[in-house]
Structure 1
Amino acid sequence: MSKEGEHCYEYPRPSVTVDAAIIAKPAEGKPAKLLLIQRKKPPCQGQWALPGGFVDENEPLDHAAARELKEETSLDASQSGVVLEQIGAFGDPGRDPRSWCVTVAYAALVPSGLDIEAADDAEEAEWFDVRKLPSKLAFDHKVIVRTAFEHLLKEHAGTGELAESLRAGVEQLQGDWERPKE
């Protein structure tokens, strides 16, 4: 019999993380851009990734996504009008070499020109042209980014430069992701 507040299950449970795909709208002849961080620590140290991390105990998922975004990029969702939309859950085996890990992904379309600064476990934070992303993204972020672009195309992009950029980004991200080796 377990103590009050303890849970005993015969089934293993995954860790839960959140990731945020933040896309800046094109402005003044500039392309749409995706916010990425360069990981400071293993696994995937030195690789570009979406801002994200582990969900704290009793923390709502959307709060965790906003917290991680602020911790790693200094971008405060509540103060900058960033509206995070949940776009899916990703839990393919091997997506994180540390353990069985499921991530809940979010996407947001934001105005261009938002200031960012790397912090916490991010070595760098940078906006990338959605048509010219780094050739290798950490974990399974290639699939998450592609899903975010497809979601934004369907829900928000319509026609024009944003739609054209996102379609080119989706095309660039075709194919399988590579399992992290670290």
Structure 2
Amino acid sequence: MAGNFTYEYPRPAVTVDALIVSKPNGSTPPQLLLIKRKHPPFKDGWALPGGFVDEGEGLDTAAARELQEETSVDPSSVSLSQVGAFGDPGRDPRGWTITVAYAALVPTTNLGVKAADDAKDARWFDISALPALAFDHKLVVRSSLRHLAKQPAAASVAGLAALLEAAAEKLEGPWQADGQAGPHDAPKRTKGGL
């Protein structure tokens, strides 16, 4: 069908987020890659690398692009797998936004991490001592750590699945970022049905 096709109903924006966790290395525990946001909302807050999906762009491509744009990590050096979608109303103060989360377990933190684009800083954090997170990234991280704990790559490293589960357990509780309101009622459709 040529031309623009529009709906009378509100539609959400779509974003992607990438959770990159390093395997433990000697006495160094697993690490999570986070970025410090350069712009509002949550300016100077820590978040997962991610951003809006461009028109006509696939989700996998968007996740790889955002990871590289914000952290300088070559997406071919990680194997991102889709974890799931997160769309609680109120998760983003800019409006109704659904994010699709991706996760990868990497053997090392030596990935050439350097903040770029929308990121003021990019660095690794011990998964058991994370800073406060923007948006609903606490929920995204919790779910993604549990996803990674069930992957064969986690089972191949002694005790890693248990470390990932323990870190996820520490993130139980409300997902709201500091100063963020909780979920509110979803936008109401004014025309009958779906």
TM over 0.5: yes
The answer for the alignment partner of 2:184 in structure 1 is none
Task: Please tell me the residue identity of whatever aligns with 1:109.
Answer: L
TM-score with structure 1 setting the length: 0.92
Listed as ranges, the matches of 1:51-70 within 5 Å are 51-70=49-68
Give yes or no for the alignment of 1:106 onto 2:102: yes
Q: CA deviation at 1:115?
A: 2.0
**In the aligned structure 1, how far is the partner of 2:87 from the partner of 2:69?**
23
Identity of aligned residues (%): 60
Task: Please tell me the residue identity of whatever aligns with 1:153.
Answer: A
TM-score with structure 2 setting the length: 0.87
Q: CA deviation at 1:165?
A: 2.2
Detail structure 1 runs of 4+ shifted over 3 Å in the superposition. 179-182
Bigger shift: 171-180 or 118-127?
171-180
The answer for the alignment partner of 2:176 in structure 1 is 178
The answer for the alignment partner of 2:192 in structure 1 is none
Listed as ranges, the matches of 1:41-56 within 5 Å are 41-56=39-54
The answer for the alignment partner of 1:151 in structure 2 is 147
Whether the 8 Å contact between 1:74 and 1:118 is mirrored in structure 2 is yes
The answer for the alignment partner of 1:28 in structure 2 is 26
Unaligned segments of structure 1, at least 5 residues: none
Task: Please tell me the residue identity of whatever aligns with 2:120.
Answer: E
Whether the 8 Å contact between 2:149 and 2:162 is mirrored in structure 1 is no
Task: Please tell me the residue identity of whatever aligns with 2:105.
Answer: L
Task: Please tell me the residue identity of whatever aligns with 1:117.
Answer: K
Which one of 116, 120, 143 corresponds to residue 119 of structure 1?
116
CA-based RMSD of the aligned residues comes to 1.6
The answer for the alignment partner of 1:76 in structure 2 is 74
**In the aligned structure 2, how far is the partner of 1:51 from the partner of 1:92?**
19
Which one of 129, 133, 137 corresponds to residue 133 of structure 2?
137
Unaligned segments of structure 2, at least 5 residues: 182-194
Q: CA deviation at 1:171?
A: 1.7
1:154-173 deviation digits (Å, cap 9, x = unpaired): 12322624223212211211
1:34-57 deviation digits (Å, cap 9, x = unpaired): 000000100011110000000000
The answer for the alignment partner of 1:39 in structure 2 is 37
Q: CA deviation at 1:8?
A: 2.0
Whether the 8 Å contact between 1:26 and 1:161 is mirrored in structure 2 is no
Bigger shift: 159-168 or 62-71?
159-168
**In the aligned structure 1, how far is the partner of 2:6 from the partner of 2:37?**
35
